[in-house]
Amino acid sequence: MTARIFKPAKNAMQSGRGKTREWQLDYEPEQPRAIEPLMGWTSSVDMKQQLTLHFDTKEDAIAYCERKGIAYQVIEPKDSVRRAAAYADNFAFKRVEPWTH
């Protein structure tokens, strides 16, 4: 039973950074998912896949794993690259191609 400790990525569908400040602990699947023959859904008998724990800091998550004797892997978050863009840049003279609809 191995756990992953990580910070969730920003939702691609929205511009906000909600639910990305806390650390999350998920368990690695012990068995592969199987396809149900009747409905075609994927299922698993591993109940730990449904468990997700949230922590305020990385150290809290690591302390939890060490206290419970769980092997863990810490995945450090990547820094997001912010590109400064303004609406006025659409009409700048330095544009390579003219702005059109």
Give the mean model confidence (pLDDT) for residues 29-39. 88
Q: Is the pTM of this model over 0.75?
A: no
Tokens linked to 11: 């939702």
Residue 99 has pLDDT above 70, yes or no: no
Instruction: Give the ranges where the chain is alpha helix by DSSP (H).
Output: 58-68
Residue 65 has pLDDT above 80, yes or no: yes
Write down the pLDDT at residue 69: 95
Nearest to 45 by CA among 53, 36, 55: 36
d(C-alpha 52, C-alpha 49), whole Å: 8
Q: How confident is the model at residue 43 (pLDDT cuts 50, 70, 90)?
A: confident
d(C-alpha 25, C-alpha 53), whole Å: 5
Residue 20 has pLDDT above 80, yes or no: yes
C-alpha 3: how far from chain center: 14
Look at the domain 3-91 and name its fold: Double Stranded RNA Binding Domain (3.30.160)
Q: Pick 17 or 5 by higher pLDDT.
A: 5
